Amino acid sequence: MSRKHFGTDGVRGTVGRSPMTPDFVLRLGYAAGKVLTGSSGARGERPTVLIGKDTRISGYMIEAALEAGFSAAGVDVLLCGPLPTPGVAYLTRALRLSAGVVISASHNPYADNGIKFFSGDGFKLPDAIELEIERELEAPMGCNESAQLGRARRVDDAGGRYIEFCKSTFPSELDLKGLKIVVDCAHGAAYAVAPHVFHELGAEVVPIGVAPDGFNINDDFGATAPRQLTAAVKHNRAQLGVALDGDGDRLVVADADGRLYDGDQLLYAIIRHRAAREKVSGVAGTLMTNLALEQALGRLDIPFARASVGDRYVLELMRERGWFYGGENSGHIICLHKHTTGDGIVSALQVLGAMRDQGRTLAELTADLVMYPQVLLNVGVPAGFDWRAHAPITEALAAGERALDGHGRVLLRPSGTEPVLRVMVEGEPRPAIEAAAQSIAQAVRRCAGG
């Protein structure tokens, strides 16, 4: 059975359109609840789930529908309000709950929303459980009798617990005193926690993107729009800037000169620091990981492997091979010895720990990582569009590869979260990769009907 509703990162879409409608979310909560009660029933337990969300206006509606669905299935619900995705993963594990649920569309605009699940161990649900929920969705929805309904209550100290967890991942012998750091929370889920983490470790914090109104999440702020970050770093004469996305699981960093560092560069800074102190068994990246990182890790004799795009696939590869480090150039970085999922705050602390421990700037830590130019274009396509079935696209792809003459690579892949086809061309010289990317993107537009 193929997945109908679950994508690479849960269920996601534009609110008001299938599947992000209140009736579907109600059924999803009930279906997930029935799966959970089935797995817990043998132990005689009433399952309990934690529901967190970001700051989108639609979060209220989706939270209420999910709560009703879980209750109808006999599942107790803990509501923690706005909290980063990795915070929900942490609390699910720390409180020994059956599952955690995050209402968020991550870096997408406010009109979108989504639902993703964590199992009781803090890891994202395996495919087999998602398929079981999909099967349950096909059955008619019922409702337990009153004596068997689930209860719901608020968790008032969720943010404080998560703040303390984040601080615990920073070396106890180090602090951030003397540093001025701009923290951009994208008007998203981290707005009430991230600034406190860095401040309580000793930094002078300049918070931006911390005034959510339900509509401004990711709007010109955050990891996907770092212009405000670099401007604030320069204006406030800060040593560093940290930008998170709407649900707080990815980051971009800016230095005092306004130079931006993506996930590949930040992961390298962490790995290089760790490799100087212990053997690093391997690092997982994705098909989008810059070739420069793979080559730099090779010079350090550290194995590297690529997974499909998506942090869940990076994590699967890491667990399969017993590795502790992995990430995406988009800013998802996973340090399994610190957390079970990508965490923007925790990852930023690992970078800061490397800088403080070695007394070096981020530019110095990444000086020997010379990134290959990379052009990424997002082309809107209809749902289910198969680019391989269109000869003009495959011909443009082959022509682009010939033009690079072995000095780069071309990748086309459908997004798992948006109705776009991503066209990535990497290599040298830059004019060649830009020309190849534009040619392929134009072919996609023609074949996609516009």
Domains, the chain, with CATH or none:
11-156 (3.40.120.10), 177-258 (3.40.120.10), 262-365 (3.40.120.10), 374-447 (3.30.310.50)
Q: What is the model's pLDDT at position 42?
A: 44
Concatenate the DSSP letters of all residues of 43-65 into one string: TTPPPEEEEEE-S-TTHHHHHHH
Identify the band that residue 13 occupies on the pLDDT scale cut at 50, 70 and 90.
very high
Q: What pLDDT does 2 receive?
A: 61
* Selected catalytic residue, list 58, 106, 119, 330: 106
The arithmetic mean of pLDDT across residues 208-234, rounded, is 98
pLDDT band at 125 (very low <50, low <70, confident <90, very high): confident
Mean pLDDT, the chain, rounded, equals: 94
Establish whether 168 is a catalytic residue. Answer: no
pLDDT of the residue at 44? 59
- Classified as helix, coil or strand, 405 is coil
Number of CB atoms found within 10 A of residue 327's CB: 30
Sequence-ordered list of residues with C-beta below 8 angstroms from that of 221, at least 6 positions apart, any chain: 184, 185, 186, 187, 208, 209, 228, 229, 243
DSSP 186-245: TTSTTTTTHHHHHHHTT-EEEEES----SS-TTSS-STT-THHHHHHHHHTT-SEEEEE-
Model-wide pTM > 0.75: yes
pLDDT of amino acid 43: 53
Q: What confidence tens digit (pLDDT) does each residue in 42-78 have? A: 455 789 999 999 999 999 999 999 999 999 999 999 9
Give the pLDDT band of residue 11 (cuts 50, 70, 90). Answer: very high
CA distance 195 to 200: 9
With a pLDDT cut of 70, the percent of the chain lying above it is: 98
| Predicted confidence (pLDDT) per residue in 254-284, tens digit | 999 999 999 999 999 999 999 999 999 999 9
Distance set, CA 23 to CA 141, 142, 150, 411 (Å): 11, 13, 19, 38
Q: 362 to each of 148, 250, 280, 315, 334, how far by Cα in Å?
A: 55, 18, 20, 25, 19
Pairing of strands 152-154, 11-14: unpaired
Distance of CA 69 to the CA centre of its chain: 26
